[in-house]
Amino acid sequence: MIRASLGTFVLASSMLLPTCSKERQTRNELSVQGLGTWQTEDAKSLNLFIDEDRIVVVNFMFASCQRICPMETARLRKLYQELRSDLGTHIQFYSVSIDPEQDTVDQLRSYKQKFAITEGWHFLRGDQKSLERLQNYLQKQRLLGPLSLQTFTHGQTVWIGKPQDGVWLARSSRESSADLARLIRRL
C-alpha cells in the first residue's frame, strides 16, 4: 500500500514541474545528451535516450550473475509480455550491464536468448564512463530520496521514464507485472 502511495506521489509531483514544453524540452535535451554510446546485444551502436519519444524501462544487471539478475529478468519478462503490443513503438526495455568488461556482446545475446526475449528489449554494454553518466543522469531524475549503491549494482530497482518529458519513476521489479503495466500505460 505504501508503494502505491509513493508512486502516486511521484507521478503527481512530476505533474507539478514547469509545464512550458519548450523550457522542459531544452532542460531535458541538456540532461539527456552525453550519456555515451552503448553497444547492443547485436553489436549495434545506440545513443541512449536521444530522440527517445517512448516510455523506457531500465534495469541494471550483469550476465554472469547467478541469483538476483536472472530472477529480476524473469520478473521483467512478465511485464514485457504484458506490454507486448506496445513494444518498440511506445515502450522500450533496456537492461544495462554493470560489468561491461566481462559482458561481451555474445554473452548479452545469449542472456537475452535464454529468456526468449525478441524485439523491444535491448541488453546494453558501454564503457565505465558511460555507465557512470547514465547512473548520474538517473540519480538527478529521481524525485524521492537518495539512492543507495545497491540500486545500480543489481538490486530490484526498475526505472520507468519518459526521457523527453523528464518524467521518471523508480519502482521495485518485485511489484506485480500487472501493477507496473498499469502504471506504464498511464504515463
Query: Residue 159 gets which letter from DSSP?
Result: E
How far, in Å, CA of 14 to CA of 76, rounded?
Answer: 24
Confidence check: pLDDT of 14 > 60:
no
pLDDT of residue 142: 53
Ordered strands of the 121-124 beta sheet: 121-124, 91-97, 55-61, 157-162, 167-172
Predicted model pTM? 0.77
- The cell numbers describing 40, all together, are 547492443
Q: How many domains does the chain have?
A: 1
CATH code at position 172: 3.40.30.10
99-145 pLDDT per residue, tens: 988 999 999 999 999 999 988 999 999 998 888 888 888 877 755 33
Confidence check: pLDDT of 32 > 70:
no
Give Cα separations from 51 to 72, 78, 81, 124, 165 (angstroms).
28, 27, 25, 18, 11
Question: Do residues 58 and 159 lie in contact, with contact meaning Cβ atoms separated by under 8 Å?
Answer: yes
pLDDT of residue 154: 61
Highest mean pLDDT among 6-15, 88-97, 149-158, 163-172: 88-97
Mean pLDDT within 144-158 = 54
Range of the domain at 69: 2-186
